[in-house]
């Protein structure tokens, strides 16, 4: 995000006097106040979940979560202790991690290979095939749920991590190929040509040149894939029974909202801490990927 925020102000202003500067800040006060209010409004819901997750369940129905700021004694870490000793929940976190990691690396590898072929290899019907990939970009995954459900049943891989990873991989591919191909096309032709003249094989060029040069795009893609697979509900809900990621585990508890808030709130908070950490750690790549994927 830094790259966006740091939009260069090229306009040169004459140096201000102190009085002018104060006047300018005062004149803009309403904008600052409105923005501050909106910013707080945007943070309140997440804060509400965090606070709710540390309220003892017997107090949950008694008062709103914001009361905790006047009565900090009502908070407890008991809910989180309960979650970490809750077998199904910890298991589902482990399942989520497996799905997210598998569902991130597999599509990146496969898409990078395909994107290289689309960008730099010659074969008949290349452009048409790429148009097909772009077309697949908008196919709703609802179109695949029923046949894949039957397919998994007949292959006996229903309700496995592998089956979920493969589904995520396939539906991640169109965007991944699109994004990486557009990035690889931008790599200077000379670099590739000279490598080819030197007799490097395509596999070698891919590993030694394309992957290192494409790292920024691969990083932003990885973040997207990770967030998508970690946050998925519909795919896991359809193809998982005992293989439950955290979203499905919370979903099955949600029917009795209120009576088991001491499980729902901390579990939901844990489920969003990981993507938030990824987001804050790789914010720049995330935004770059977003822009590459939508503006291009």
Q: Which of 174, 222 has the CB closer to other proteins?
A: 174
Q: Which residues neighbour 179 within 8 Å (Cβ) at sequence distance 6 or greater? A: 115, 217, 220, 221, 289, 292, 293
6 versus 19: smaller Cβ distance to other proteins: 6
Residue closer to other proteins (CB basis): 124 or 199: 124
Neighbouring CB atoms inside 10 A of 228's CB total 19
Strand partners, 75: 55
Nearer to other proteins, 177 or 218 (CB): 177
- DSSP code per residue over 138-205: T--THHHHHHHHHHHHHHT-TTSHHHHHHHHHHHHHHHHHHHHHHHHHTS-HHHHHHHHHTT--HHHH
Report, in Å, the least distance between residue 17 CB and other proteins: 19
CB of 73 to other proteins, least distance (A): 19
Half-sphere exposure of 38 (CA within 13 A, CB side): 6
Measuring CA to CA, which residue among 203, 214, 148, 142 is closest to residue 177?
A: 214
Minimum Å gap between C-beta 150 and other proteins is 8
Residue 112 in tokens = 């990078």
User: In the bound complex, what is the minimum distance in angstroms from residue 160's beta carbon to other proteins?
Assistant: 15
Spatial distance between the Cα atoms of 1 and 286, rounded to a whole number of angstroms: 8
Q: Which is nearer to other proteins, 23 or 38 (CB)?
A: 38
Least CB distance to other proteins at residue 91 (A): 18
Give the C-alpha separation, 55 to 65, whole Å.
8
CA dihedral sign of residues 106, 109, 112, 116: negative
Angle of CA points 138, 144, 149, to nearest 5°: 155
Based on CB atoms, which residue is closest to other proteins, 59 or 91? Answer: 59
140 vs 188, which CB is nearer to other proteins? 140
* Chain mean position to CA 271: 12
Nearest distance in Å: CB 148, other proteins: 5
Shortest CB 255 distance to other proteins, Å: 6
Instruction: Give least dist CB 190 to other proteins, A.
Output: 20
User: What DSSP element (H or E) covers 37?
Assistant: helix 29-53
Q: Which is nearer to other proteins, 46 or 194 (CB)?
A: 46
């Amino acid at each position: 995000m830094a790259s966006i925020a740091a939009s260069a102000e090229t306009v040169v202003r004459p140096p201000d006097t102190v009085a002018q500067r104060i006047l300018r800040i005062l004149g803009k006060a309403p904008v600052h106040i409105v923005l501050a209010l909106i910013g707080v409004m945007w943070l309140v819901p997440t804060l509400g979940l965090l606070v709710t997750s540390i309220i003892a369940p017997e107090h949950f129905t008694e008062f709103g979560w914001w009361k905790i700021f006047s009565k900090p004694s009502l908070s407890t870490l008991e809910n989180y202790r309960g979650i970490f000793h809750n077998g199904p929940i910890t298991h589902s976190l482990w399942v989520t991690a497996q799905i997210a990691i598998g569902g991130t690396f597999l599509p990146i590898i496969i898409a990078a290979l395909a994107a290289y072929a689309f960008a730099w290899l010659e074969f008949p019907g290349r452009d048409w095939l790429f148009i097909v990939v772009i077309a697949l970009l908008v196919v709703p995954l609802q179109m695949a749920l029923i046949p894949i459900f039957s397919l998994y049943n007949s292959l006996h891989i229903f309700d496995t991590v592998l089956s979920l990873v493969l589904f995520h991989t396939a539906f991640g591919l169109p965007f991944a190929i699109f994004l990486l191909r557009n990035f690889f096309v931008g790599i200077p032709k000379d670099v590739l040509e000279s490598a080819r003249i030197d007799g490097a094989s395509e596999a070698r060029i891919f590993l030694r040149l394309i992957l290192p040069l494409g790292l920024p795009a691969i990083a932003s893609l990885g973040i997207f894939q990770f967030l998508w697979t970690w946050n998925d509900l519909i795919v896991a809900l359809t193809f998982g029974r005992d293989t439950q990621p955290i979203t499905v585990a919370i979903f099955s508890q949600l029917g009795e909202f209120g009576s088991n808030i001491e499980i729902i709130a901390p579990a939901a908070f844990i489920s969003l801490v990981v993507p938030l950490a990824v987001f804050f750690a790789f914010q720049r790549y995330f935004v770059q990927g977003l822009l590459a994927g939508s503006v291009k």
